[in-house]
């Protein structure tokens, strides 16, 4: 039952990643694309956590933490670039 | 003397807790190492933390946290329902909330709580830090939304961080 | 019993993640799109992480609680990035269904982007 649930969840999260990709490619404005990228990071974390449970391995956790941190820093840097036209002042 | 050795008494246990969570073990050695890091890091990064945080009413803070957690759950269900119903039922609007909070920490906590809870995202803070522009997904009555934000979230924060 | 709870948490989490991304596609303008990912997705991943915490704690290799760290991190960073994104969008004058308050444009015209 658990493995079936994980498989269904895989399908749902993959569909979510597909949707964010669509927004990333078509999104009319730059902020739309950044938002899509940010959502993509969060969905990737979800996918990694699911994979960790599917394979019964806690190894993927560090990757999830790294993606969470890098994703946040990336979003902030891109937003700051839009706001100021410069990242490091 | 006490200020130099322990500049931020609240930061130390938080850093120790993060270390213990990160190393994923409750062994005494890791806890000791976490406490050591929690003691040393605030001393070396003191210039980055000019404000000394004081919590005046821990009970109010705890009650506030419970309220916020409950609201996060409700807000998520509400937003999910709005997304599923489609874009014809939403009524987006910008609302300007006048702020009574003055400290940086208070304002940023309020902005975070607003973004996490009732179908609203805090969008813009005026340069003089007196007004916060909030974007609501489905605003029926702007005045009521402002009252909710001020009464439910800002009042407890004011009490905890700035009651003077 | 444990398996049912875990399965329910996983399905709920995945469903919320999906709905959040669906909002990203379905909503009409940028400011309404912002709501789906910041709220639904955060709760979705939080639920998945709680499921993972219970799963690894019952595997017999001792308790596992570093999932709390990622959950906390997401709950702190999601509103910050949402705030920055909508500030950037207001600054750029991204098209919106609802009219932004006039003072925003006035302050932006002064050239002072707030830190």
Instruction: Decide if C115 is inside a domain.
Output: no
User: Does residue B114 belong to any structural domain of this protein?
Assistant: yes
Q: How far apart are CA B160 and CA B162, in angstroms?
A: 6
Alpha-carbon gap: C30 to the closest alpha carbon of chain B (Å): 11
| Residues B63 and B104 reside in one and the same domain | yes
**Is B53 a domain residue?**
no
Quick check: B145 and B95 in contact, CB under 8 A?
yes
CA distance B150 to chain C (A): 18
Residues 7-26 of A with CB under 8 A from C: 8-10, 12-13, 15-17, 19-20, 22-23
Residue range B79-104: mean pLDDT, rounded: 78
- Tens of pLDDT, residue by residue over A48-82, are 888 988 888 878 888 888 888 888 898 888 888 88
pLDDT of amino acid C112: 44
Strand runs (DSSP E) across chain C, as ranges? none
**3-class DSSP assignment, residue B90:** coil
Q: Which residue does chain A place closest to C77, by CA atoms?
A: A72
- Considering the domain boundaries, does residue B43 fall inside one? yes
Question: Do residue B71 and residue B40 come from a single domain?
Answer: no
Indicate whether B73 pLDDT > 80: yes
Model confidence pLDDT, tens digit, residues B1-41: 456 666 667 778 888 888 888 887 778 888 888 888 888 88
Asked if residue C109 has pLDDT above 60, the reply is no
**Structural domains counted in chain B:** 2
Residue C101: C-alpha distances to residues A32, B67, B121, C96 (Å)? 21, 30, 15, 12
**When comparing pLDDT for B127 and C80, which is higher?**
C80
Contact C100 B84 (CB under 8 A): no
In a domain, C114, yes or no: no
How much of chain B, in percent, has pLDDT values that exceed 90? 0
Residues of A whose CB is below 8 A from C86: 31
**CA pair distance B101, C20, nearest whole angstrom:** 32
Torsion of CA B13, B19, B24, B26, to 10 degrees: -50
> To 10 degrees, the CA torsion angle through B156, B124, A78, A34?
90
Whole-angstrom CA distances from C33 to B80, B125, C22, C27 are: 12, 20, 9, 5
Please indicate, yes or no, whether residues B37 and B112 belong to a single structural domain of this protein: no
| Structural domain span for residue B14 | 2-48
Structural domain for C35, as ranges: 2-109
Say whether both B65 and B139 belong to one domain: yes
Domain count, chain C: 1
B98 three-class SS? strand
CB-based burial label for C35 (10 Å; 0-12, 13-18, 19+): buried
Q: What is the mean pLDDT of residues A13-41?
A: 88
Is C74 an interface residue toward A (CB < 8 Å)? yes
Q: Is residue B26 part of a domain?
A: yes
**B72 & B43 share domain:** no
Examine the domain organization and report whether B150 and B83 are in the same domain: yes
Closest chain C C-alpha to A72 CA, distance in angstroms:
7
Q: Under 8 Å CB-to-CB from A21, ≥6 apart: which residues?
A: A36, A40
Shortest Cα–Cα distance, A48 to chain C (Å): 10
Q: Are residues B127 and B91 in the same domain?
A: yes
Task: Give the mean pLDDT of A20-45.
Answer: 87
Strand (E) or helix (H) holding B125: strand B120-125
Does A83 sit within 8 Å of C113, measured CB to CB? yes
Q: Are strands B93-98 and B120-125 parallel, antiparallel or unpaired?
A: unpaired
Contact residues, C window 88-107, toward A, CB-based 8 Å cutoff:
88-89, 91-92, 94-95
Which of C42, C66, C84 faces A61 most closely, judged by CB atoms?
Answer: C66
> Which residue, among B22, B17, B90, B11, has the nearest Cα to B52 in the 3D structure?
B11
Residues B22 and B64 in one domain: no
């Amino acid at each position: 039952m658990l493995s079936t649930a994980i498989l269904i969840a895989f399908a749902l999260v993959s569909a979510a990643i597909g949707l964010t990709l669509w927004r990333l490619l078509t999104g009319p404005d730059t902020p739309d694309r950044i938002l899509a990228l940010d959502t993509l990071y969060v969905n990737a974390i979800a996918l990694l956590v699911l994979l960790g449970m599917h394979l019964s391995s806690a190894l993927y956790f560090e990757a999830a933490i790294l993606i969470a941190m890098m994703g946040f820093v990336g979003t902030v840097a891109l937003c700051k670039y839009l706001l100021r036209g410069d990242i490091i002042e | 003397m006490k200020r130099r050795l322990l500049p931020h008494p609240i930061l130390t246990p938080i850093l120790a807790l993060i270390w213990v969570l990160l190393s994923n073990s409750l062994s005494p050695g890791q806890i000791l190492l976490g406490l050591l890091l929690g003691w040393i890091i605030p001393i070396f990064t003191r210039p980055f933390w000019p404000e000394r945080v004081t919590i005046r009413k821990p009970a109010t803070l705890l009650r506030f946290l419970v309220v916020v957690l409950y609201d996060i759950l409700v807000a998520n269900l509400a937003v999910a329902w709005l997304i599923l119903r489609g874009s014809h039922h939403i009524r987006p609007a910008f609302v300007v909330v006048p702020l009574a909070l003055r400290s940086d920490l208070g304002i940023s906590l309020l902005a975070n709580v607003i973004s996490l809870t009732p179908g609203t995202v805090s969008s813009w803070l005026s340069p003089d830090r007196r007004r916060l522009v909030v974007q609501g997904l489905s605003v029926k009555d702007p005045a009521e939304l402002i009252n909710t934000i001020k009464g439910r979230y800002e009042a407890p924060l004011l009490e905890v961080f700035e009651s003077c | 019993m444990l398996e049912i709870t875990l399965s329910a948490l996983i399905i709920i989490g995945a469903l919320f993640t999906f709905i959040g991304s669906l909002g990203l596609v379905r909503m009409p303008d940028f400011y309404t799109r912002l709501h789906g990912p910041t709220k639904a997705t955060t709760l979705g991943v939080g639920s998945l992480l709680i499921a993972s915490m219970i799963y690894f704690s019952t595997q017999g290799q001792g308790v596992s609680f570093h999932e709390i760290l990622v959950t906390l991190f997401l709950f702190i960073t999601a509103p910050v990035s949402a705030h920055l994104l909508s500030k950037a969008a207001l600054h750029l004058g991204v098209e919106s269904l609802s009219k932004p308050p006039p003072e925003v444009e006035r302050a932006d015209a002064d050239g002072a982007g707030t830190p």
